[in-house]
Every structure is written in C-alpha cells, then in structure tokens.
Amino acid sequence: MPSPWSSRRDLSPQSSRLLIERAHEELVAGNIADARLAQVRPLVRESWHRSVDGLVGVEGLPPLELTDAELEAYRSAHPLAGAMDMIRALLLPEPDAGVVVAVGDAAGRLLWVEGDRHIRALTGDMGFVAGTNWSEQAVGTSAPGTALALDRSVQIHGAEHFNRLVQPWSCTAAPVHDPETRALLGVIDVTGDADAASPQAQLLVDATARAIEAELMVARLRSRAAAPRLARRHAAPPVRRTATLRVLGRDRALLELGGDTGKSLTELSARHAEILLMLAVHRQGLSAEQLATLVYGEPAVETLRPELVRLRRVLEKTAPHLVPASRPYRLTTDLETDAHQVLSLLGRGAHRVALAASRGPVLPDSTAPGVEEFRDTVRTTLRDALLAEASVDVLLAYAETSDGADDVEVLRLALSLLPARSPKRSGLVARIERSETPEP
C-alpha cells in the first residue's frame, strides 16, 4: 500500500519561499508597511502579526511544560487517548511514512508525537516532542498552534512559519471538538516535507478529525447506556500531584511540588539532596548499607539513620507522600528529577531541548560516590547522543558549554558538518589547534 504522503505536488516553489522569507525579515524588523507583506497569505500574515504582538521569539525553543510523570498522567486521562489507534491507522499506515503525526491538547501542548523515526530525530531538534507547547503564544505561526487559534484546519508551508527553526518543515493540522458541546479538545498535526501540506493531506487530516469526533460520540453513548447517570455525576476526579527534584547546576537541590492547587518549592540541604536523589535513581530500593555507601562512600549506617530522620521531618511538613519507606529504603510514589528529564528528552530525539534543559552538572559540589556516578552517566549520555545524532547547530551550542568547550571530538565533528564556506569554520579550527597543542 503506497504511503498517503508520497508523490505530492510541492506548493512552496523557491521564488515564493524567498519572497516569504524577505517579508518575514521585514516584519520582524518592524517594517510592517513593506509591500512584500501584502503578498503573503492573509492567514499567515495575520498570524505573524499576532506572534509579533505577543513578543514571540523567532528562533527560540518551545517551552517544555509537562514532565514525564505529568505527561503520562495527563494524556492517559485525555479524551483523545482512546482515539490514538484510529489516528495511527489513518495517518501512519506504515512506520516509515516520511511524516510525524502529533496530537496535542486544546492549549497546544503536544501529548503524542509518533511516526517516521528519521523525521522525528530531525524535528526533535526544534523541540517538536511530547510535553512541549506549540501554541501561537509559545512558538508563533505553526499548523497546530494556528489551527487552535483559528479553530479550523490550517496548512503552513516552510518559510511561512514564524520561528526560523521550524521553516525547513511543512505541516497540516486540524482541531478536534467535543461532539456534543463543540468545545475544543485538541489538535491533530502532520509534519514533514512539502508533501505534508498538500491538498490531499488536508483532506485526510480533516477526515481523521471528523472520524475521531464520531467515534467519541459513539463511545459516549455506549458509556451512558452501561453506567448509571448518578454514579457518573458524583464521581470525583483524581487529584493530580507531581514532584520534581531539581539537581542540575545546583548544590542545594530544589524540591518542586505541583498539582491542582499550584506549585511550591522547598530547598533541601546538600546531604538531603544526595539521599533523595539516590532513592530517585534506585527505584527498586536500597538497603541501609547500600544507601550509606552511595552517600558516604562506606556503609556508615549509624551516620545515615539520624540524617534520614531529619529528612523525614522535612518531608512530613512539605511532601508527606515522599517520606521514604524502609526495609529497603525506597520511594513509594513518583519523584522525577530534572536530570532524568534531560535523559528522556534525548530518548525522544529532542537534542536541542535536552541541551537547553541541561543547566549544569548534577549536584556539582557533591562528592558522594552515587552522585558522582549518576553525574557521569548524565554527562556521558548527553555527549554520546549529541555525537551520534545532533545537528551541527546543536553541536556548536554544546561546544559553548563547560563540558564541550575543549572536546576535540565534538569540535571536529561540528567542523565536518559545517558548509565549506561557513564563517564559523576558522574559529573551530583555531579551537582544535589550541586543544591539541601541548602546554610548554
């Protein structure tokens, strides 16, 4: 069966692209009366103006608004969760279809991003991954964000995107509504090359959105027939509760608690941060001797136990659900760390977002053996992932960090990926020569 995304007509010829790029430059520069703007599609031009008025950056990454735990809990309860099999069947008939299909909520946050692995790796560099916000207010003109803003299906071709990082791609998106109230539930988006924004693509995405709405209505009618109305009316929604330990670039970790009532921050002592981090890393639990060795470098149980008592007192006041259980010592509820979020982003192919989220080493001043080992794991995983798959722009950004500044392998790879006439080549050559020249 041929892919529905193959053999489509390119709707963005080179001449049109150059005109749109120049019009975009003039608008961003404040020249709103430039004649070229009148030749841009009204839908796009109006979205550009909303983006400028909203002070959206032209090269920024979308904000990551959902941690792994928040994402999993939220999307499992989202009305579109039950439609994912239908979406895959209609829009991803084969794994290497050449497109990425994203499903987001009514606020523009992507909940699922699936499809061609190669395309996902490339789009991940611009932050097109689950958990990020792709509303117009966050990234400017894009098919998912603009479709939500206008409440209609939208196609955005290449240079029409407001954010320059997104301009290599084209996309088609359509909103999905509640079949009874017509309230917005979310958005379906297809992203790829020019074929992803063809007339046939729009017909298929629109048809998928309508099929989902029909399926939601059928499921709702079946549910009403099977369950008493009174039970449904009084069913209490589950309380959402999240916890994140922020340890990157910090010696005194921050415990961030979130939920339906808002967020709170608690700064932990260096020792308490080490203990809680070890319990978050070793989810299976640790004996007293194992935990003491990871924290102190020796099985100093008598030193560990009073520290655990003090940690319990702190947590009982701020996060009683995180008080560790014993025998073995373990956490009985989810505790994410910002370091694990970086590893997760790397796994999703979002190298640029992962690098931006990596704000420094894990508890940099800690000498606890377990922390040092985890710190090295995060550092090595980030470096290896960037060397294996990252774009040249991401490699150059990594080369500006403390870990990448003198990494000759990173510098050489970036040099090999740069165009022959790039002005950045001379600076890289000089840095490589300095790094390889032995000190007198």
Whether residue 95 is preceded by a cis peptide bond, meaning omega within 30 degrees of 0, is no
Quick: pLDDT tens for 314-332: 999 989 999 999 989 999 9
Whether 3 has a pLDDT exceeding 50, the answer reads yes
**Cβ of 377: how many Cβ atoms within 10 Å?**
14
The pLDDT score that the predictor gives to residue 4 is 55
**Cβ of 307: how many Cβ atoms within 10 Å?**
18
The pLDDT score that the predictor gives to residue 11 is 37
Whether 8 has a pLDDT exceeding 50, the answer reads no
Predicted confidence band of residue 227 (pLDDT cuts 50, 70, 90): low
Residue 21 CA: distances (Å) to CA of 16, 79, 141, 168:
9, 38, 14, 12
Q: For residue 154, what is the enclosing H or E element? A: strand 154-156
Whether 238 has a pLDDT exceeding 60, the answer reads no
- Angle between the N-to-C axes of helices 42-53 and 14-28, in degrees from 0 to 180, rounded to the nearest 10: 30
The pLDDT score that the predictor gives to residue 334 is 87
In whole angstroms, what is the distance from residue 148 CA to residue 178 CA?
14
Predicted confidence band of residue 51 (pLDDT cuts 50, 70, 90): very high
Residue for token pair 């979205």: 47
Token couple for 143: 């098919």
In whole angstroms, what is the distance from residue 181 CA to residue 197 CA?
29
Select 57-225's CATH number: 3.30.450.40, 3.30.460.80, 3.30.365.10, 3.40.50.300: 3.30.450.40
Instruction: Please provide the distance, in angstroms rounded to a whole number, between the alpha carbons at the two ends of the chain.
Output: 66
Give strand pairing partners of 421. Answer: none
How much of the chain, in percent, has pLDDT values that exceed 70?
A: 92
Helices vs. strands in the chain: H and E counts, helices first? 18, 9
Mean pLDDT for the chain? 89
Report the predicted TM-score, pTM, of the whole model to 2 decimal places.
Answer: 0.75
The pLDDT score that the predictor gives to residue 157 is 95
Write down the domain spans for the chain. Answer: 57-225, 240-378
The pLDDT score that the predictor gives to residue 232 is 47
In whole angstroms, what is the distance from residue 141 CA to residue 45 CA?
9
Quick: pLDDT tens for 292-319: 999 999 999 999 999 999 999 999 998 9
Quick: pLDDT tens for 73-86: 899 999 999 999 99
Whether 13 has a pLDDT exceeding 90, the answer reads no
Whether 372 has a pLDDT exceeding 70, the answer reads yes
Whether 351 has a pLDDT exceeding 70, the answer reads yes
Q: Which residue has the higher pLDDT, 349 or 106?
A: 106
